[in-house]
Amino acid sequence: MKLKEVNKVSLLWAFLIGGAICLAGQLIMDLTPYEISTGHVLVGYVTLGALASALGLYQPLVDIGGAGATIPLSGFGHGLVQGVLSSIKNQGIMGVFMGGIAANAAGIAAAVIFGYIMAVLFNPKG
């Protein structure tokens, strides 16, 4: 396949996997009898993503779905666990504490700085 075709197919897979992951979250919110906030869903996704990653179940999803698996918050849990596991090899026990945040430092820093700037600049509507 040419690069263009590969790219097109990757868009479709990202759409399908990403959509399916989000659909599951919506069903959890709608079908659970008691009140579930988006905060609960986000925490659940990070934790489940981390556990699935530890069991080796999340990487195949990333291989197929690309951004469809890394962009949902379960991908953040996956990134944390993979960061920890890969830095254990080089740094041992220190890697357990450093690897996760180090691997996701840019995302965390971006969330803090962009979040701060936007909150300072803008006011809520209405």
Partner 1 sequence: MAGFTGPEDTSRLKKQFDHSKKQYEQEKYQKIAQKHVPKASIFRNSLNAFLMGGLICAVAQALFNLISSAGFTVKEANTIVAVIMIFLGAFLTGIGIYDSIAKVGGAGAMVPITGFANSIVAPAMEFKKEGYIFGIGARMFSTAGPVLVYGIVTSIIVGLIAFTIM
Cβ at position 75, least distance to partner 1 in Å = 8
Query: Nearest CA to 111 among 57, 46, 50?
Result: 46
**φ, ψ for residue 32, nearest 5 deg:** -80, 130
- For the beta carbon of residue 50, count every other beta carbon within 10 angstroms: 20
Residue 23 binds partner 1, judged by CB under 8 A: yes
Residue 43 binds partner 1, judged by CB under 8 A: yes
Give the C-alpha separation, 91 to 112, whole Å.
27
Residue 19 binds partner 1, judged by CB under 8 A: yes
The overall longest dimension of the chain from CA atoms, in Å, is 52
Cβ at position 47, least distance to partner 1 in Å = 5
Residue 10 binds partner 1, judged by CB under 8 A: yes
- In sequence order, the 6+-apart residues with CB closer than 8 A to the CB of 120 are none
Q: Which of 2, 34, 38, 90 binds partner 1 (CB under 8 A)?
A: 38
Residue 88 binds partner 1, judged by CB under 8 A: yes
Q: Which of residues 62-81 bind partner 1 (CB under 8 A)?
A: 65-68, 70-77, 80-81
